């Protein structure tokens, strides 16, 4: 199973042959090289000392992280945007922070840090990959998230002393996917569901507090990959374990359309 780690949490950075760059703003130094073809999975995050790293990341993954988009919200571009992978390290004094420091931040501090990191990545992609794009609003399939008829089963945070939120997604020993939230607003769960389902999820629950929850479900795999222990679908698990309901509809979705892009040159 491909694994992606990141500061959002998810992924980040960019592209082709070892290089050192001085962007007009954003990252001060960025080294870029193609990933080893044998590399497995994608890992992205802030390393000790504040170095930002992306291992085995495609440009499409980086664009998604930079503009906070899911796959279905990106359109166009040549095939290599998806298939070519890169190893990147980048530094700037503004990012001199460890993952442990990030976990201790308040939500406001974390959002500010993430927005700055995204902007740096946007500048890097636009400058090094010559990305030109535009936005469109399209009528696409979406899901609405509402409270189930028997009411929400989300719990108030068990630890009221912490300010940080966390959302963890892992594969259990029985092959199920487990999503665990601690002191987490529903906006974080909605983003996770959107990625799992590859559709926009619109929160219509009216629930505005932070919650603790765990939802376990069988991943949507090919028959040959099904876990030994069967579990509920994501839809069933959400209703039975969290008291939330997903309903399929159509609605407006903002899409980033790639007009032109180039492979980053070595320099």
* Structure-token pair, residue 229: 């222990």
Position 169 scores a pLDDT of 93
Position 222 scores a pLDDT of 46
Position 161 scores a pLDDT of 67
| Mean pLDDT calculated for residue range 139-162 | 91
User: What's the length of the chain?
Assistant: 267
Token pair 């987490």: residue: 184
Residue 162 pLDDT exceeds 90? no
* Structure-token pair, residue 68: 């906070």
Please, which pLDDT band fits residue 127 given cuts at 50, 70 and 90? Answer: confident
* Structure-token pair, residue 106: 């308040």
**What pLDDT digit, counting tens, does each position of 170-191 carry?**
998 888 999 999 999 999 999 9
DSSP 2-44: --EE-SSSS-----SSS-B---SSS-SEEEEEEPPTT--SEEE
Distance in angstroms (rounded) separating the CA atoms of residues 115 and 7: 11
Burial 77-106 (b: 16+ CB within 10 A, else e): beeebeebbbbbbbbbeebebeeeebeebe
Domain boundaries of the chain, sorted by first residue = 4-129, 138-252
Position 201 scores a pLDDT of 97
Residue 258 pLDDT exceeds 60? yes
Residue 105 pLDDT exceeds 80? no
Higher per-residue pLDDT: 200 or 101: 200
Query: Which contiguous run of DSSP H or E holds residue 80?
Result: helix 80-83
Distance in angstroms (rounded) separating the CA atoms of residues 54 and 14: 8
Please report, rounded to a whole number, the percentage of residues in the chain having pLDDT higher than 90.
50
**What pLDDT digit, counting tens, does each position of 197-213 carry?**
999 999 999 999 999 99
- Mean pLDDT score of the chain, rounded to an integer? 82
Residue 264 pLDDT exceeds 70? yes
Position 260 scores a pLDDT of 97
Residue 163 pLDDT exceeds 80? no
Position 98 scores a pLDDT of 63
**What pLDDT digit, counting tens, does each position of 35-92 carry?**
888 888 898 877 666 677 889 999 999 999 899 999 999 999 999 999 999 888 887 7
Among 26-30, 68-72, 151-155, 247-251, the least confident range: 26-30
């Amino acid at each position: 199973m491909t694994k992606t780690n990141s500061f959002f949490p998810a992924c980040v950075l960019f592209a082709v042959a070892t290089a050192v760059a001085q962007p007009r703003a954003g990252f001060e130094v960025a080294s870029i090289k193609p990933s080893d073809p044998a590399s497995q999975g994608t890992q992205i995050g802030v390393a000790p000392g504040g170095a930002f790293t992306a291992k085995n990341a495609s440009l499409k993954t980086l664009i998604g992280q930079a503009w906070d988009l899911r796959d279905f919200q990106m359109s166009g571009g040549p095939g290599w945007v998806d298939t070519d992978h890169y190893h990147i390290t980048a530094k700037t004094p503004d990012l001199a922070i460890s993952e442990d420091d990030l976990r201790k931040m308040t939500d406001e501090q974390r959002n500010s840090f993430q927005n700055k990191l995204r902007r740096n990545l946007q500048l890097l992609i636009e400058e090094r990959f010559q990305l030109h794009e535009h936005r469109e609003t399209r009528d696409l399939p979406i899901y609405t998230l509402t409270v189930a008829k028997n009411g929400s089963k989300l719990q108030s945070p068990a630890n009221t002393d912490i300010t940080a939120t966390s959302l963890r997604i892992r594969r259990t020993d029985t092959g199920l996917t487990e999503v665990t939230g601690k002191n987490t607003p529903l906006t974080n769960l909605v983003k996770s569901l959107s990625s799992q389902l590859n559709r926009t999820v619109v929160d219509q629950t009216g629930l505005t507090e932070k919650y603790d929850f765990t939802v376990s479900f069988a991943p949507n795999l090919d028959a040959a990959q099904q876990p030994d222990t069967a579990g509920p679908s994501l839809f069933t698990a959400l209703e039975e374990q969290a008291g939330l309901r997903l309903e399929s509809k159509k609605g407006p979705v903002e899409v980033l359309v790639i007009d032109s892009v180039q492979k980053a040159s070595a320099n």
